[in-house]
Amino acid sequence: MVKMTGAEAIVEMLKRQKVKHIFGIPGGATLDLYDVLYNSGLRIILARHEQGAAHMADGYARISGIPGVCTATSGPGGTNLVTGIATAYMDSSPVIALTGQVNSQAVNSSYLIGRDAFQEADIIGITMPITKQNFQVKKAKEIPSVFKEAFYIASTGRLGPVVIDLPKNTQKESAEMDFSSPVKIRGYNPIYIPDPVQIRRAVELLCNAERPIMLAGGGVIASNASHEAVKLAEAILMPITTTLMGKGVIPENHSLSLGLLGMHGTIVANKLLHETDVLLNVGARFSDRTTGTLDDFCPDAKIIHIDIDAAEIGKNFKVDLSIVADAKRTLIEICKQITQKMIRKERSVWFDRIQQFKERYKDLLIKEGGLKPPKLMVELRKLVPNNTIVATGVGQCQMWAALYFKAVEPRTFITSGGLGTMGFGLPAALGAKVARPDVPVINIDGDGSFRMTEQELATSVLEDIPVIVIILNNSMLGMVAQWQRLFYGRRYASSELKDSPDFVKLAEAYGVNGVRVGSVKEFVNAVKEGLNNDVTTVIDVPISPEEDVWPMVPAGAGLRDVIWSAEKKK
């Protein structure tokens, strides 16, 4: 037992959990916490909007694999975090959000919580459906155990965000703190070890398959199982397609990589999926953007689903075999049991078919001439090292990056997959750079998305976190405009961004480098320069407002009905 204030206990707990950075904005209800953080040795990073702070913590967590911490004051501080927390929740990212709260107990006769005090918001009620768990500290002495539980919950099982609400008095008051109590949560027992019977059945199905495909999701990356996934794929000649969250599981230049699946997946993945007889889904959740209409989703395949979250089994899609366990341990077990002579079907036919498909559609959509996003992404890949991290905005820019910037290592591509949060790119890139200061970090953004969190350029300057921002500037809410162009008779309701500021001047106003490019050559030079700069570089890339993202599976269609030009639209 040690006597200290609640705020001191919070910082002690952060240190014990190996936290080194905290992203946030202070306020009345977190003054006590910030006062202790001030000379704690932790790096406090001042964001310019709490949404940015949450995305930074999220970007940090996705890259490092350990919880990222953000903080905000009570009321509007907490509500500003909400979009960031929901983003982390949808993509199962371990973010810890600390919110200030008004006094929960009489302090100088002011007992406030529940009385609509100044800057009071029910952040517990608000964040309940978008967190894995949340806590309101009632007494300072609970802080060590609450923090232990919070970090344990965020970073085990299916990862996810946790909110800790800290009434001001619990930060201020002193108590005897017990840091030694073990974590025990009766209703929480994540399962990691796969059931051996299910493993045997999976091995059987895979060995008997003629045309197996693996669908790898974010779960593979979260459990650091990319190596095992590729090893299994190579052992049984099973190609891998990924979800947006699974991008990077297999090097996308690998002969067994089919690229992305889904609404904006590759032609190859979307068409071949229809032919598979055994689909092995590892850590993906059959989201609607990935499957297209379920009526036409690999109709002839036996489906195996591996997920650490039992509630994902059968949620969207009924499967033939399920394994609730950690992806890495499951893949290791499967690999162990498969030997070459067990593979009863000839796979070379399937392998050849895949290579033929890949050859047929290779570079089909990468056009030369002018500033075409696919071409720019291909050029970018050539310029930057393999460990370069890419973060994205949301919209066409995101899909161009996902389709045409080939990831070759896991944890090098982060994007708001589940929630599709515009504004994720820049702050997530900053968080990623804090996690990996040694590698280049590039935010591939849209002009609309960038403007939702552009103020974090100030954070990048003040905190000395240099990144490269590439704005694919179509002066449009491009993805909205694409749908209006294809399905709403070109009626561009509210999708034109005619008022966009001069991004070069805007960058300069923040004290970062700004450059506008007019050709692929200038783009290449600007990126090269950005890589050598020790301040952030914003590259404004004016592109045609009429550019569409191809391929595309129209809403309501099956994956094999993928189209890759407007003429093919039925």
Ligand X SMILES: Cc1ncc(C[n+]2csc(CCOP(=O)(O)OP(=O)(O)O)c2C)c(N)n1
Which one of 422, 430, 468, 562 is in contact with ligand X (CB under 6 A)?
422
Is the Cβ–Cβ distance between 100 and 30 less than 8 Å?
yes
Closest CB to other proteins among residues 322, 392? 322
Which one of 24, 448, 514, 558 is in contact with ligand X (CB under 6 A)?
448
Which one of 29, 268, 313, 384 is in contact with other proteins (CB under 8 A)?
313
Q: What's phi and psi for 33, nearest 5 deg?
A: -60, -50
Identity of the residue numbered 329: R
Does 294 sit near other proteins (CB under 8 A)?
Answer: yes
Q: Please give the residues from 172 up to 191 whose contact with Mg ion meets the rule CB under 5 A.
A: none
Supply 144's token pair: 């060590």
Q: Which partner in other proteins, ligand X, Mg ion, none is near 316 (CB below 5 to 8 A by kind)?
A: other proteins
Does 279 sit near ligand X (CB under 6 A)?
Answer: no
Write the binding mask 98 to 127 for other proteins: x where contact by CB under 8 A, - elsewhere: --------------------------xx--
The arrangement of strands across the sheet holding 240-242 comes to 257-260, 240-242, 212-216, 278-282, 302-307, 321-324
Does 474 sit near Mg ion (CB under 5 A)?
Answer: yes
Residues with Cβ within 8 Å of residue 520, at least 6 apart in sequence: 371, 375, 376, 379
Write the binding mask 167 to 196 for ligand X: x where contact by CB under 6 A, - elsewhere: ------------------------------
Does 420 sit near ligand X (CB under 6 A)?
Answer: yes
Give how far the C-alpha of residue 510 lies from the chain's centroid of Cα atoms, to the nearest Å. Answer: 27
C-alpha 258/C-alpha 271 separation (Å) is 10
C-alpha 131/C-alpha 88 separation (Å) is 9
Which stretch in 108-116, 276-284, 312-320, 442-450 sits in contact with other proteins by CB under 8 A? 312-320
Indicate the Cα dihedral angle 223, 229, 230, 236, nearest 10°. 170
Which one of 446, 466, 514, 558 is in contact with ligand X (CB under 6 A)?
446
Which one of 76, 114, 196, 314 is in contact with other proteins (CB under 8 A)?
314
Is the Cβ–Cβ distance between 300 and 168 less than 8 Å?
no
Within 10 A of 507 (CB to CB), how many other CB atoms are there? 24
Q: Which of 105, 119, 337, 455 is catalytic?
A: 119
Supply 85's token pair: 């927390």
Is the Cβ–Cβ distance between 259 and 233 less than 8 Å?
no
Does 479 sit near ligand X (CB under 6 A)?
Answer: yes
Which one of 41, 129, 182, 369 is in contact with other proteins (CB under 8 A)?
129
Task: Write down the H helix ranges in 109-174.
Answer: 123-127, 143-154, 168-172
Q: Which partner in Mg ion, other proteins, ligand X, none is near 234 (CB below 5 to 8 A by kind)?
A: none
Q: List the catalytic residues.
A: 50, 118-119, 168, 479
Q: Which residues are near other proteins by CB under 8 A? A: 124-125, 128-129, 133, 153, 185-189, 294-295, 297, 309-311, 313-318
